[in-house]
Structure 1
Amino acid sequence: MKQTMIKVFVIALGISLFGCKTETKPTLDYKFAQDGSSINCPNTNTKLFEEAVLSFEEDIKKYFNQSTNNLPKAYSSFLANVNNRRMDYQAAVSPHSMEVFEALKAEAGLFNEDHSVNYQAPIFECVSNNFSDKDFQTTFKALVATNSMRAPLIAAPLRTKIRRAPKDRYLATFVALDWYYSKLFDVDPTQVTEKPVNENEPKVNPTQLKNAERIQSSQSEK
Protein backbone atom coordinates (compact mmCIF):
# COMPACT_ATOMS: atom_id res chain seq x y z
CA MET A 1 0.00 0.00 0.00
CA LYS A 2 2.85 2.37 0.89
CA GLN A 3 4.65 1.63 -2.38
CA THR A 4 1.43 2.27 -4.31
CA MET A 5 1.02 5.67 -2.66
CA ILE A 6 4.62 6.56 -3.51
CA LYS A 7 4.06 5.63 -7.16
CA VAL A 8 0.92 7.72 -7.30
CA PHE A 9 2.79 10.67 -5.81
CA VAL A 10 5.66 10.34 -8.30
CA ILE A 11 3.25 10.16 -11.24
CA ALA A 12 1.31 13.19 -10.03
CA LEU A 13 4.52 15.14 -9.53
CA GLY A 14 5.70 14.20 -13.01
CA ILE A 15 2.45 15.38 -14.57
CA SER A 16 2.65 18.65 -12.66
CA LEU A 17 6.23 19.31 -13.76
CA PHE A 18 5.43 18.37 -17.35
CA GLY A 19 2.55 20.84 -17.33
CA CYS A 20 4.85 23.63 -16.16
CA LYS A 21 7.46 22.87 -18.80
CA THR A 22 4.93 22.86 -21.63
CA GLU A 23 3.42 26.23 -20.70
CA THR A 24 3.18 28.15 -23.94
CA LYS A 25 3.92 31.79 -24.62
CA PRO A 26 1.18 34.14 -25.83
CA THR A 27 0.49 33.69 -29.54
CA LEU A 28 0.95 36.72 -31.74
CA ASP A 29 -0.55 37.40 -35.13
CA TYR A 30 2.36 39.04 -36.94
CA LYS A 31 1.15 42.04 -38.88
CA PHE A 32 4.37 43.65 -40.10
CA ALA A 33 7.49 41.47 -39.69
CA GLN A 34 8.54 39.12 -42.45
CA ASP A 35 10.53 35.91 -42.12
CA GLY A 36 13.76 37.85 -42.53
CA SER A 37 14.82 40.45 -40.00
CA SER A 38 16.41 43.87 -40.30
CA ILE A 39 18.63 43.09 -37.31
CA ASN A 40 21.08 40.25 -36.88
CA CYS A 41 20.94 39.15 -33.26
CA PRO A 42 21.59 35.41 -32.82
CA ASN A 43 19.81 33.61 -29.98
CA THR A 44 17.10 36.27 -29.74
CA ASN A 45 13.54 36.43 -31.02
CA THR A 46 14.38 38.87 -33.79
CA LYS A 47 11.03 38.49 -35.56
CA LEU A 48 9.19 39.55 -32.40
CA PHE A 49 11.51 42.51 -31.85
CA GLU A 50 11.09 43.62 -35.45
CA GLU A 51 7.31 43.36 -35.11
CA ALA A 52 7.59 45.47 -31.96
CA VAL A 53 9.56 48.18 -33.76
CA LEU A 54 7.29 48.30 -36.80
CA SER A 55 4.12 48.42 -34.70
CA PHE A 56 5.62 51.18 -32.55
CA GLU A 57 6.47 53.18 -35.65
CA GLU A 58 2.92 52.85 -36.95
CA ASP A 59 1.64 54.10 -33.60
CA ILE A 60 3.77 57.23 -33.52
CA LYS A 61 3.07 58.07 -37.16
CA LYS A 62 -0.66 57.93 -36.49
CA TYR A 63 -0.43 59.72 -33.16
CA PHE A 64 1.58 62.64 -34.47
CA ASN A 65 -0.55 62.77 -37.62
CA GLN A 66 2.32 62.50 -40.07
CA SER A 67 0.25 62.73 -43.24
CA THR A 68 3.47 62.90 -45.25
CA ASN A 69 4.61 59.61 -43.68
CA ASN A 70 7.71 61.36 -42.31
CA LEU A 71 9.04 58.73 -39.94
CA PRO A 72 12.19 60.65 -38.87
CA LYS A 73 9.99 63.57 -37.79
CA ALA A 74 7.64 61.18 -35.97
CA TYR A 75 10.63 59.85 -34.04
CA SER A 76 11.75 63.38 -33.22
CA SER A 77 8.26 64.37 -32.06
CA PHE A 78 8.00 61.23 -29.96
CA LEU A 79 11.30 61.82 -28.19
CA ALA A 80 10.50 65.50 -27.63
CA ASN A 81 7.24 64.63 -25.93
CA VAL A 82 8.80 61.88 -23.83
CA ASN A 83 11.60 64.17 -22.66
CA ASN A 84 9.07 66.85 -21.71
CA ARG A 85 6.81 64.30 -20.00
CA ARG A 86 3.96 64.97 -22.39
CA MET A 87 3.78 61.61 -24.10
CA ASP A 88 0.32 60.08 -23.71
CA TYR A 89 1.02 56.38 -24.15
CA GLN A 90 -2.60 55.48 -23.44
CA ALA A 91 -3.74 57.62 -26.35
CA ALA A 92 -0.97 56.56 -28.72
CA VAL A 93 -0.81 52.79 -28.35
CA SER A 94 -2.75 50.54 -30.72
CA PRO A 95 -4.44 47.22 -29.86
CA HIS A 96 -1.82 45.40 -31.92
CA SER A 97 1.05 47.00 -30.03
CA MET A 98 -0.59 45.87 -26.80
CA GLU A 99 -0.62 42.32 -28.18
CA VAL A 100 3.06 42.70 -29.05
CA PHE A 101 3.65 43.99 -25.52
CA GLU A 102 2.09 40.83 -24.05
CA ALA A 103 4.45 38.73 -26.18
CA LEU A 104 7.42 40.82 -25.07
CA LYS A 105 6.52 40.33 -21.41
CA ALA A 106 6.83 36.59 -21.98
CA GLU A 107 10.43 36.99 -23.16
CA ALA A 108 12.54 35.82 -20.22
CA GLY A 109 14.83 38.48 -18.80
CA LEU A 110 13.68 41.33 -21.02
CA PHE A 111 12.04 43.37 -18.24
CA ASN A 112 13.06 43.78 -14.61
CA GLU A 113 10.66 43.42 -11.70
CA ASP A 114 10.22 47.21 -11.59
CA HIS A 115 9.14 47.06 -15.26
CA SER A 116 12.28 48.74 -16.55
CA VAL A 117 14.17 47.02 -19.35
CA ASN A 118 17.03 44.72 -18.47
CA TYR A 119 20.10 46.07 -20.26
CA GLN A 120 21.85 42.75 -19.64
CA ALA A 121 19.33 40.96 -21.85
CA PRO A 122 20.88 39.49 -25.04
CA ILE A 123 18.91 41.83 -27.31
CA PHE A 124 20.42 44.93 -25.69
CA GLU A 125 23.92 43.51 -25.86
CA CYS A 126 23.35 42.88 -29.56
CA VAL A 127 21.88 46.26 -30.46
CA SER A 128 24.54 48.16 -28.49
CA ASN A 129 27.22 46.31 -30.45
CA ASN A 130 25.65 47.41 -33.72
CA PHE A 131 24.64 51.05 -33.33
CA SER A 132 25.75 52.87 -36.48
CA ASP A 133 27.00 55.87 -34.51
CA LYS A 134 30.09 54.82 -32.57
CA ASP A 135 30.01 57.80 -30.21
CA PHE A 136 26.50 56.90 -29.14
CA GLN A 137 27.59 53.27 -28.82
CA THR A 138 30.45 54.25 -26.52
CA THR A 139 28.16 56.35 -24.33
CA PHE A 140 25.53 53.63 -24.14
CA LYS A 141 28.02 50.93 -23.21
CA ALA A 142 29.70 53.12 -20.59
CA LEU A 143 26.38 53.88 -18.88
CA VAL A 144 25.41 50.20 -18.83
CA ALA A 145 28.83 49.05 -17.62
CA THR A 146 28.77 51.48 -14.69
CA ASN A 147 25.10 50.75 -13.89
CA SER A 148 24.40 54.42 -14.60
CA MET A 149 21.88 54.06 -17.43
CA ARG A 150 19.17 56.61 -16.75
CA ALA A 151 16.79 58.31 -19.16
CA PRO A 152 18.14 61.85 -18.54
CA LEU A 153 21.71 60.71 -19.20
CA ILE A 154 21.06 58.87 -22.46
CA ALA A 155 18.45 61.39 -23.65
CA ALA A 156 20.99 64.10 -24.45
CA PRO A 157 23.07 62.06 -26.93
CA LEU A 158 19.92 60.38 -28.24
CA ARG A 159 18.41 63.73 -29.28
CA THR A 160 21.06 64.22 -31.95
CA LYS A 161 20.77 60.64 -33.25
CA ILE A 162 17.03 59.95 -33.10
CA ARG A 163 16.34 60.78 -36.75
CA ARG A 164 18.71 57.97 -37.73
CA ALA A 165 16.40 55.38 -36.21
CA PRO A 166 14.42 54.66 -39.42
CA LYS A 167 17.67 53.49 -41.03
CA ASP A 168 19.55 52.29 -37.95
CA ARG A 169 17.26 49.44 -36.93
CA TYR A 170 19.37 48.61 -33.88
CA LEU A 171 18.81 52.13 -32.57
CA ALA A 172 15.11 51.80 -33.43
CA THR A 173 14.93 48.55 -31.45
CA PHE A 174 16.46 50.19 -28.38
CA VAL A 175 14.07 53.16 -28.58
CA ALA A 176 11.00 51.00 -29.10
CA LEU A 177 11.74 48.59 -26.25
CA ASP A 178 13.07 51.05 -23.69
CA TRP A 179 11.18 54.26 -24.44
CA TYR A 180 7.85 52.80 -25.53
CA TYR A 181 7.04 49.23 -24.56
CA SER A 182 8.48 49.47 -21.05
CA LYS A 183 6.02 52.32 -20.44
CA LEU A 184 2.98 50.27 -21.43
CA PHE A 185 2.81 48.59 -18.02
CA ASP A 186 0.90 51.69 -16.93
CA VAL A 187 -1.57 51.54 -19.82
CA ASP A 188 -5.09 50.23 -19.23
CA PRO A 189 -5.55 47.62 -22.00
CA THR A 190 -9.34 47.77 -21.68
CA GLN A 191 -9.24 51.40 -22.82
CA VAL A 192 -7.03 50.84 -25.88
CA THR A 193 -8.85 51.25 -29.18
CA GLU A 194 -7.88 51.47 -32.83
CA LYS A 195 -6.95 55.01 -33.82
CA PRO A 196 -8.23 55.97 -37.27
CA VAL A 197 -6.09 58.54 -39.06
CA ASN A 198 -7.82 61.84 -39.71
CA GLU A 199 -5.35 64.07 -41.51
CA ASN A 200 -7.46 67.15 -40.79
CA GLU A 201 -7.48 66.60 -37.04
CA PRO A 202 -4.10 66.42 -35.25
CA LYS A 203 -3.83 63.90 -32.42
CA VAL A 204 -1.72 66.29 -30.35
CA ASN A 205 -1.94 70.02 -29.82
CA PRO A 206 0.17 71.61 -32.62
CA THR A 207 1.45 74.42 -30.39
CA GLN A 208 2.43 71.95 -27.68
CA LEU A 209 4.22 69.79 -30.22
CA LYS A 210 6.13 72.71 -31.72
CA ASN A 211 7.18 73.89 -28.27
CA ALA A 212 8.46 70.42 -27.39
CA GLU A 213 10.40 70.17 -30.64
CA ARG A 214 11.85 73.65 -30.19
CA ILE A 215 13.06 72.77 -26.70
CA GLN A 216 14.63 69.56 -27.99
CA SER A 217 16.28 71.39 -30.89
CA SER A 218 17.80 74.02 -28.60
CA GLN A 219 19.06 71.35 -26.22
CA SER A 220 20.60 69.40 -29.09
CA GLU A 221 22.59 72.44 -30.21
CA LYS A 222 24.22 72.85 -26.80
Structure 2
Amino acid sequence: MTHHTRKSIAVAATIAILAIAYYGSFLPLRKSQLFIHALRTVGQARSFPEFAEAMSVPLDAPSPIGQEELVRNMGNYLVNIIRGNAQNPELVAAVMQYMERYYAPILARGRGMSYEQNLFVLGTASEFAFIKTNNPQYLAAAKRYYLQGFSLGPNRPQPLYGLLDVYRMEGDLDRAIEMGEKIVSLWPSDERTKGVLEELKGDKRP
Protein backbone atom coordinates (compact mmCIF):
# COMPACT_ATOMS: atom_id res chain seq x y z
CA MET A 1 0.00 0.00 0.00
CA THR A 2 1.51 3.30 -1.07
CA HIS A 3 1.81 6.34 1.12
CA HIS A 4 -0.72 8.13 -1.09
CA THR A 5 -3.23 5.30 -0.69
CA ARG A 6 -2.81 5.22 3.07
CA LYS A 7 -3.29 8.97 3.20
CA SER A 8 -6.45 8.76 1.08
CA ILE A 9 -7.88 6.07 3.35
CA ALA A 10 -7.08 8.14 6.43
CA VAL A 11 -8.76 11.21 4.95
CA ALA A 12 -11.83 9.18 3.97
CA ALA A 13 -12.03 7.67 7.45
CA THR A 14 -11.78 11.10 9.04
CA ILE A 15 -14.57 12.42 6.83
CA ALA A 16 -16.72 9.41 7.71
CA ILE A 17 -16.15 9.92 11.43
CA LEU A 18 -17.00 13.61 11.15
CA ALA A 19 -20.14 12.77 9.17
CA ILE A 20 -21.25 10.25 11.78
CA ALA A 21 -20.65 12.79 14.54
CA TYR A 22 -22.52 15.47 12.61
CA TYR A 23 -25.55 13.39 11.67
CA GLY A 24 -25.60 11.15 14.73
CA SER A 25 -24.80 13.65 17.46
CA PHE A 26 -24.83 17.29 16.42
CA LEU A 27 -28.06 17.35 14.41
CA PRO A 28 -30.17 15.49 17.03
CA LEU A 29 -28.69 17.68 19.78
CA ARG A 30 -29.41 20.82 17.80
CA LYS A 31 -32.97 19.67 17.12
CA SER A 32 -33.56 19.01 20.82
CA GLN A 33 -32.17 22.41 21.75
CA LEU A 34 -34.46 24.11 19.25
CA PHE A 35 -37.44 22.21 20.63
CA ILE A 36 -36.66 23.23 24.21
CA HIS A 37 -36.33 26.83 23.08
CA ALA A 38 -39.65 26.60 21.24
CA LEU A 39 -41.39 25.26 24.35
CA ARG A 40 -40.09 28.24 26.30
CA THR A 41 -41.42 30.71 23.75
CA VAL A 42 -44.78 29.25 22.68
CA GLY A 43 -46.32 30.24 25.99
CA GLN A 44 -45.97 33.84 24.85
CA ALA A 45 -47.70 33.21 21.53
CA ARG A 46 -50.75 35.44 21.07
CA SER A 47 -52.31 33.27 18.37
CA PHE A 48 -52.09 29.78 16.99
CA PRO A 49 -50.18 30.94 13.86
CA GLU A 50 -47.51 32.35 16.18
CA PHE A 51 -47.43 29.04 18.05
CA ALA A 52 -47.13 27.11 14.78
CA GLU A 53 -44.35 29.35 13.51
CA ALA A 54 -42.29 28.83 16.66
CA MET A 55 -42.91 25.09 16.87
CA SER A 56 -42.14 24.50 13.20
CA VAL A 57 -38.52 25.57 13.69
CA PRO A 58 -37.46 22.42 15.59
CA LEU A 59 -39.92 20.19 13.75
CA ASP A 60 -38.47 21.22 10.39
CA ALA A 61 -34.86 21.02 11.55
CA PRO A 62 -33.03 18.15 9.81
CA SER A 63 -31.97 15.19 11.93
CA PRO A 64 -31.73 11.44 11.30
CA ILE A 65 -33.36 10.71 14.66
CA GLY A 66 -35.68 12.45 17.09
CA GLN A 67 -38.44 13.61 14.75
CA GLU A 68 -41.06 11.09 15.83
CA GLU A 69 -40.54 11.87 19.51
CA LEU A 70 -40.80 15.61 18.91
CA VAL A 71 -43.94 15.19 16.82
CA ARG A 72 -45.54 13.11 19.57
CA ASN A 73 -44.65 15.71 22.21
CA MET A 74 -46.08 18.40 19.96
CA GLY A 75 -49.20 16.30 19.49
CA ASN A 76 -49.77 16.00 23.23
CA TYR A 77 -49.35 19.76 23.54
CA LEU A 78 -51.93 20.35 20.82
CA VAL A 79 -54.40 17.95 22.46
CA ASN A 80 -54.33 20.22 25.50
CA ILE A 81 -54.91 23.27 23.30
CA ILE A 82 -58.02 21.66 21.80
CA ARG A 83 -59.24 20.41 25.16
CA GLY A 84 -58.75 23.75 26.89
CA ASN A 85 -60.50 25.98 24.39
CA ALA A 86 -64.18 26.73 24.07
CA GLN A 87 -66.02 25.81 20.90
CA ASN A 88 -63.94 27.37 18.13
CA PRO A 89 -64.20 25.39 14.88
CA GLU A 90 -61.64 27.55 13.07
CA LEU A 91 -59.00 27.07 15.76
CA VAL A 92 -59.70 23.34 16.00
CA ALA A 93 -59.39 22.96 12.23
CA ALA A 94 -56.08 24.84 12.20
CA VAL A 95 -54.69 22.75 15.06
CA MET A 96 -55.75 19.46 13.47
CA GLN A 97 -54.33 20.41 10.07
CA TYR A 98 -51.03 21.38 11.66
CA MET A 99 -50.86 18.14 13.62
CA GLU A 100 -51.74 16.00 10.60
CA ARG A 101 -49.08 17.73 8.51
CA TYR A 102 -46.30 16.46 10.77
CA TYR A 103 -47.89 13.11 11.50
CA ALA A 104 -48.40 12.28 7.81
CA PRO A 105 -44.86 10.86 7.23
CA ILE A 106 -45.10 8.80 10.42
CA LEU A 107 -48.47 7.35 9.42
CA ALA A 108 -47.16 6.66 5.92
CA ARG A 109 -44.42 4.45 7.38
CA GLY A 110 -47.00 2.54 9.39
CA ARG A 111 -44.51 1.36 11.96
CA GLY A 112 -42.16 2.49 14.67
CA MET A 113 -41.41 1.90 18.33
CA SER A 114 -44.14 4.33 19.39
CA TYR A 115 -46.50 3.93 16.46
CA GLU A 116 -49.43 2.80 18.62
CA GLN A 117 -48.89 5.75 20.94
CA ASN A 118 -48.95 8.07 17.94
CA LEU A 119 -52.30 6.61 16.89
CA PHE A 120 -53.63 7.23 20.38
CA VAL A 121 -52.50 10.88 20.33
CA LEU A 122 -54.20 11.41 16.98
CA GLY A 123 -57.31 9.59 18.16
CA THR A 124 -57.50 11.68 21.32
CA ALA A 125 -57.02 14.92 19.40
CA SER A 126 -59.74 13.93 16.94
CA GLU A 127 -62.09 12.92 19.76
CA PHE A 128 -61.72 16.26 21.53
CA ALA A 129 -62.04 18.05 18.19
CA PHE A 130 -65.41 16.35 17.76
CA ILE A 131 -66.48 17.27 21.29
CA LYS A 132 -65.58 20.91 20.67
CA THR A 133 -67.11 21.23 17.19
CA ASN A 134 -69.63 18.39 16.80
CA ASN A 135 -68.11 17.81 13.37
CA PRO A 136 -68.65 14.12 12.51
CA GLN A 137 -65.47 13.93 10.44
CA TYR A 138 -63.44 14.23 13.64
CA LEU A 139 -65.36 11.42 15.31
CA ALA A 140 -64.81 9.25 12.23
CA ALA A 141 -61.09 10.03 12.37
CA ALA A 142 -60.91 9.19 16.08
CA LYS A 143 -62.62 5.87 15.40
CA ARG A 144 -60.21 5.11 12.57
CA TYR A 145 -57.12 5.80 14.69
CA TYR A 146 -58.43 3.84 17.68
CA LEU A 147 -59.34 0.88 15.48
CA GLN A 148 -55.84 0.89 14.00
CA GLY A 149 -54.41 0.88 17.49
CA PHE A 150 -56.80 -1.89 18.53
CA SER A 151 -55.71 -4.05 15.59
CA LEU A 152 -52.08 -3.69 16.68
CA GLY A 153 -52.67 -4.11 20.41
CA PRO A 154 -56.13 -5.49 21.25
CA ASN A 155 -55.39 -5.54 24.97
CA ARG A 156 -53.83 -2.10 25.25
CA PRO A 157 -55.91 0.31 27.32
CA GLN A 158 -55.66 3.36 25.05
CA PRO A 159 -57.60 2.01 22.04
CA LEU A 160 -60.06 0.15 24.27
CA TYR A 161 -61.03 3.23 26.25
CA GLY A 162 -60.97 5.32 23.09
CA LEU A 163 -63.34 2.98 21.28
CA LEU A 164 -65.63 2.85 24.31
CA ASP A 165 -65.92 6.64 24.11
CA VAL A 166 -66.44 6.65 20.34
CA TYR A 167 -69.12 3.97 20.36
CA ARG A 168 -70.97 5.79 23.14
CA MET A 169 -70.87 9.01 21.12
CA GLU A 170 -72.13 7.16 18.06
CA GLY A 171 -74.93 5.58 20.07
CA ASP A 172 -73.68 2.10 19.19
CA LEU A 173 -74.66 0.48 22.48
CA ASP A 174 -73.75 -3.09 21.49
CA ARG A 175 -70.17 -2.24 20.59
CA ALA A 176 -69.81 0.12 23.53
CA ILE A 177 -70.91 -2.65 25.89
CA GLU A 178 -68.51 -5.05 24.18
CA MET A 179 -65.60 -2.65 24.75
CA GLY A 180 -66.68 -1.96 28.32
CA GLU A 181 -66.88 -5.65 29.15
CA LYS A 182 -63.45 -6.25 27.66
CA ILE A 183 -62.00 -3.43 29.73
CA VAL A 184 -63.54 -4.77 32.94
CA SER A 185 -62.31 -8.29 32.15
CA LEU A 186 -58.77 -6.93 31.85
CA TRP A 187 -58.98 -4.45 34.73
CA PRO A 188 -61.62 -5.70 37.21
CA SER A 189 -60.95 -2.83 39.63
CA ASP A 190 -62.07 -0.18 37.12
CA GLU A 191 -65.18 1.00 38.94
CA ARG A 192 -65.76 3.90 36.55
CA THR A 193 -66.11 1.60 33.54
CA LYS A 194 -68.35 -0.72 35.56
CA GLY A 195 -70.63 2.24 36.17
CA VAL A 196 -70.58 3.15 32.48
CA LEU A 197 -71.49 -0.44 31.61
CA GLU A 198 -74.47 -0.36 33.94
CA GLU A 199 -75.69 2.84 32.30
CA LEU A 200 -75.25 1.39 28.82
CA LYS A 201 -77.09 -1.80 29.69
CA GLY A 202 -79.83 0.24 31.31
CA ASP A 203 -80.19 2.34 28.15
CA LYS A 204 -80.47 -0.82 26.10
CA ARG A 205 -83.29 -2.35 28.16
CA PRO A 206 -86.71 -1.95 26.52
TM-score, reference length from structure 2: 0.32
Higher share in helix: 2
- Which of the pair has more CA radius of gyration? 2
